[in-house]
Amino acid sequence: MQTEIDLGILYSRSGTYAALSEALWQGALDGIEAVNADSGIPLTFRAVERDPGGDVQRYAPLCNDIFAQSDARHIIGCVTSSSRKEVIPALDKAGATLWYNVPYEGFETSERVVYSHACTNQNILPILAWAQRAFGSAAFLTGSNYIWGWETCRVARHQIESAGGKTLGERYLPLGDEDVKGLIAQVAATRPSFILNSLVGASSYAFIRAYQALGARDSHFRPENCPLLSCNLTEAELPLLGSASEGLISVGPSFCKILQPLGRGSSLERTAYGSVLTLAAVLMAQGDADFAAFIAENGETFGIDPTTHHRALDVKIAQVRNGAFHVLTKWADVLPDPYMTRPARHPKLDGPQLRMVGA
């Protein structure tokens, strides 16, 4: 007989980053469906869903509401780092766990969070090292005006300048702001070798479209000369960008060779899906033990670093060509280093220097 277990789902399927949330939500629901359909798994999940609507102030109350209105002690959810940090006190109080399935800026460890997507040495470091080698060392940094943007640009600035490069500009936009004229003007004036785009949602889409128009006016800003780089762009957002996505370069644990309908198959969906299946496996083995204590002793069995609660991941750098991502270089099973204290875990570039051709 299968035991039904409540599982919280906390994603903003409306608001400025709805496309990301929709992919994560779909992956989580697909994972629940797979577990529930497997007669060999002695448990089923019942989804307990809440939608904060992209309002960071609603995450903690809705997280608490899940705990109050159900028996859930695991939540699949959150997109932004701000929302993740908002719910950690609620998790601590309830003795619950968040499965966080989005790339992030690192420099955090909580026994109440499983960080299932890429951290600092699995996203920011490899794409910067690759870009400096392929395009040059003069960078422009832009991001949304909150933790993800600040920390990504801070780490990027440090890495670029440590390697002898220069940061020619750094500019932030409020989350959801689509007024990118000033940002585009500053990029045009500084003429960098590449741009690291850490904008999120609608801000990013507006900037990418405007940057494509800049490239049409000035060939220096074509993808083969001065590309846009991202640590968080996936297939989930390509349908919203259309032809403006051509030439964009991103880093992640997986990419689809062929663009799927509605942007399906992104690393966000795959990670959320995998988190649900991993949770089912953990719960079957955990018994009456405290989750955090169990992971501290047995995490490696389930692919979770017991010390940091992060996961080893493949790292792939890919460029959008003809509407789909084409992998340019990759590393397998890169161990996490969220605090950048283990250089041996940082991906190394081998082989001759490569430059991109026109998209």
**Identity of the residue numbered 132:** Q
CA atoms within 13 A on the CB side of 276: 31
* Alpha carbon distance, N-terminus to C-terminus of the chain: 55
For residue 359, what pLDDT is reported? 43
Integer Cα distance of 294 and 335 in angstroms:
20
CB 259 within 8 A of CB 323: yes
Other beta carbons within 10 angstroms of residue 159's beta carbon come to 18
Q: Quick one: angle between helices 124-135 and 147-162, nearest 10?
A: 50
CB under 8 A, 24+ apart: contacts of 35-40: 35/276, 35/277, 35/280
Place of tokens 């002793």: 297
Residue-level length of the chain: 359
Q: What is the rounded distance in angstroms from the CA atom of residue 259 to the CA atom of residue 112?
A: 35
CB 303, CB 312: distance < 8 Å: yes
Written as one string, the DSSP assignment of 240-303 is HHGGGGTT-EEEES---SSPPGGGTT-HHHHHHHHHHHHHHHHHHHHTTS-HHHHHHHHGGGGT
Cα 52 from Cα 11, distance rounded (Å)? 7
Q: What is the pLDDT of residue 311?
A: 98
Question: 248 near 319, Cβ under 8 Å?
Answer: yes
Q: Looking at residue 260, what is its pLDDT?
A: 76
DSSP one-letter code for 57: G
Return the closest-CA partner of residue 160 out of 146, 141, 144.
141
> CB of 62 within 8 A of CB of 50?
yes
pLDDT at position 264 is: 86
Q: What is the dihedral of CA 313, 199, 21, 295, to 10 degrees?
A: 30
Alpha-carbon distance values, 22 to 15, 19, 272 (Å): 11, 5, 11
Nearest CA among 78, 137, 95, 132 for reference residue 272: 78
Tell me the CA distances in angstroms from 68 to 82, 90, 198, one per residue in order: 23, 11, 35
Pairing of strands 74-77, 113-115: unpaired
Q: Which residues contact 127 (CB under 8 A, 6 or more apart)?
A: 196, 229, 231, 249, 250, 251, 317
- What is the mean pLDDT for each group of 10 consecutive residues in the chain (359 residues)? 93 93 97 97 97 96 98 97 97 97 97 97 97 96 96 96 95 96 98 98 97 98 98 95 97 89 88 98 93 95 96 98 95 97 91 49
Residue 39: per-residue pLDDT: 93
Kindly report each contact of residues 340-345 with a partner whose C-beta sits within 8 Å and lies 24 or more positions away, as own/partner.
Answer: 340/106, 340/120, 340/121, 340/125, 340/155, 342/121, 345/121
Contact 48, 72 (CB under 8 A): yes
State how far the Cα of 96 lies from the Cα of 20, in Å rounded to an integer.
24
Token pair, residue 143, equals: 């991001």
